[in-house]
Amino acid sequence: MLDLTPKEVMARTALRINPCKTCQPVGALFCALGVRKCMPHSHGSQGCVSYHRTVLSRHFKEPAIAASSSFTEGASVFGGRSNLTTAVKNIFDMYNPDIIAVHTTCLSETIGDDLNSYIADLKIPEGKKVVHCNTPSYAGSHIMGFSNMMTGFMSYLTKKTGASNGKTAIFPGWANPGDIRQLKKICSLMNVPIIMFPDHTGVMDAPMTGKYEFYPEGGTTIPEIASLGDCKGVVALGEIASLAPAEMMKKKWEVPFVMLPQPIGVSFTDQFVMALRLVSKTEVPWELEEQRGQLVDLMIDAHQWVYGKKVAIFGDPDTVEGLTSLALEMGLVPKYVITGTPKEEFTKKINRLFSKYSVTDCKAKANSDLFELHQWIKNEPVDLLIGTTYGKQIAKAEDIPFVRAGFPVLDRYGGPLMPIFGYEGGIRMAEKIIGALMDREDRDCADEDLEIVM
């Protein structure tokens, strides 16, 4: 069916076809799963949260727990106060979380439910917490919902005592557990004590033990979120996801922050390591220098197979920025770079990368979709496609090598465990890119040109 996508590109302002994003509540739910013993709660209909849980479970291959206010016609007309009141009581009685994180949906936002007043009137058991954020599904994307939930947690929980805890807060942005583990490893090597928020390690990559744990022993703890106001500083990764929480830290608790891209590839990982070096005031350890040298060596070794190859990259804005930087470092030409998140800062950042590496005739666009990307490719083909599972239809229709990266990857296994952050993650991504292009070379060459050593 995708073979029938027309080549003629027509301007569309109100319609998205095959969108390159999902809705805010998915991001809020994912953020809440990165907090220890937290029950995410969707203030809307059961159908909404069923979808949100499904898309997360299919990517991580782990249960994405969440509760719902279970709106019916009555709540849709008269408001969901009673639904939320009953739900909170039932959740604490039945599931005993330490904290409930409530997010709205398009339905509760449209009817105007005032969650501030609802939560203020709740009877919350001693020692338990309820927080909330607003996440209208018809605005922004899952990245914005993730960011909003971070600020929701901080608004309710974070305090400043005036006594420094000696730690640096790391805001990883939307990241797989494998990437967060890589960030922790780098911080440990740099001797920087941290609070990672949110932290999905041990939750969305929980090991198989033979016994199901409703609340795995992972995630940022409530005391850690409370102590963010006493941190020495914040290293915020990925501007679209992490800027609003970082600015809140500076404005409300006077905690300074440095805003960096997610550490994908050589240059962006260098920036992260140097930021930690300023904190620790120590030399970069040999282990990190060695990994960096290995990544650069890999790029040089395979340069002849990737140089000048055109690539289309799509997905979440912060991840795509990092992947674009890595592609340019490898000598690829990022012909088309898109995200579905409606943030023009993304377009400006990608265009700055184009200028830095002196590449021309390339397109970057926010608030785009995969239908438009497919049309561009039909008009001027590329040699490689990098993005989420939803690109596999374009790859099949146009016979393009395809490397999966970002969220969601629904049709492969192990991705959330493996990093793309850091020098080690860069090595993994570079190997996948090089392998995809060389596999195509082997597939298409004549029998007499099928080399054993390349």
Q: DSSP code of 181?
A: H
Mark whether 338 and 196 lie in a shared domain.
no
pLDDT of residue 76: 75
The three-class DSSP label of residue 429 is: helix
| Calpha distance 234→119 (Å, rounded) | 29
**DSSP line for 249-310:** HHHHH---EEEE---BHHHHHHHHHHHHHHHH-SPPPHHHHHHHHHHHHHHHHTHHHHTT-E
Mark whether 264 and 404 lie in a shared domain.
no
Residue 17 in any domain: the answer is no
pTM of the model: 0.95
CA-based nearest residue to 52, from 441, 434, 408, 429: 408
* Contact yes or no for 353/324 (Cβ under 8 A): yes
What are the tokens at 265?
A: 């590839």
Mark whether 277 and 308 lie in a shared domain.
no
Residue 317 in any domain: the answer is yes
CA-based nearest residue to 392, from 362, 363, 420, 412: 412
- Does the bond joining 256 to the residue before it have cis omega, within 30 degrees of 0? no
| Calpha distance 116→133 (Å, rounded) | 9
pLDDT of residue 145: 97
Which has more pLDDT, 448 or 36? 36
Mark whether 263 and 403 lie in a shared domain.
no
Residue 451 has pLDDT above 90, yes or no: no
**Mean pLDDT within 101-118:** 92
Residue 57's pLDDT band (cuts 50, 70, 90): very high
- φ, ψ of residue 35 in degrees (nearest 5): -115, 135
CB neighbour list of residue 400: distance below 8 Å, 6 or more residues apart: 377, 381, 382, 383, 384, 385, 394
pLDDT of residue 423: 98
Comparing 112-121, 190-199, 370-379, 422-431, the range with the smallest average pLDDT is 112-121
CA distances from 450 to 178, 401, 438, 441 (A): 36, 18, 11, 9
- pLDDT tens-digit profile of 38-55? 999 999 998 899 999 999
**Mean pLDDT within 357-382:** 96
| Calpha distance 208→364 (Å, rounded) | 42
- pLDDT tens-digit profile of 317-356? 999 999 999 999 999 999 999 999 999 999 999 999 999 9
Mark whether 325 and 408 lie in a shared domain.
yes
Residue 382 has pLDDT above 60, yes or no: yes
Mark whether 147 and 181 lie in a shared domain.
no
- pLDDT tens-digit profile of 150-207? 999 999 999 999 999 999 999 999 999 999 999 999 999 999 999 999 999 999 999 9
Look up residue 26 and give its amino acid: V
Residue 80's pLDDT band (cuts 50, 70, 90): confident
**Mean pLDDT within 418-430:** 98
Mark whether 292 and 436 lie in a shared domain.
yes
Residue 314 has pLDDT above 90, yes or no: yes
* H or E element that contains 171: strand 168-171
> Residues 391, 396, 397, 398: is their CA dihedral positive or negative?
positive
pLDDT of residue 13: 82
Domain boundary among 134, 157, 180: 157
Residue 16 in any domain: the answer is no
Mark whether 352 and 397 lie in a shared domain.
yes
Residue 395 in any domain: the answer is yes
Planar angle of CA 377, 383, 389, nearest 5 degrees: 70
pLDDT of residue 1: 56
Mark whether 95 and 143 lie in a shared domain.
yes
CB neighbour list of residue 84: distance below 8 Å, 6 or more residues apart: 43, 69, 102, 115, 118, 119, 122
Residue 276 has pLDDT above 70, yes or no: yes
Look up residue 377 and give its amino acid: I
Residue 11 has pLDDT above 90, yes or no: no
CB neighbour list of residue 149: distance below 8 Å, 6 or more residues apart: 27, 28, 31, 32, 101, 103, 133, 135
Q: What is the CATH number of the domain that holds 318?
A: 3.40.50.1980
Mark whether 335 and 407 lie in a shared domain.
yes
What is the residue range of 113's domain?
24-157
What are the tokens at 257?
A: 């922050």
- Count of structural domains within the chain: 3
Buried b (16+ CB within 10 A) or exposed e, 223-251: ebbbbbbbbebbbbbbbbbbbbbbebbee
Residue 78 has pLDDT above 80, yes or no: no
**DSSP line for 73-108:** HHHHHH-SHHHHHHHHHHHHHHT--SEEEEEE-HHH
Residue 85 in any domain: the answer is yes
Mark whether 433 and 309 lie in a shared domain.
yes
| Mean pLDDT for all residues in the chain | 95
Residue 308 has pLDDT above 70, yes or no: yes
Residue 273 in any domain: the answer is yes
pLDDT of residue 79: 75
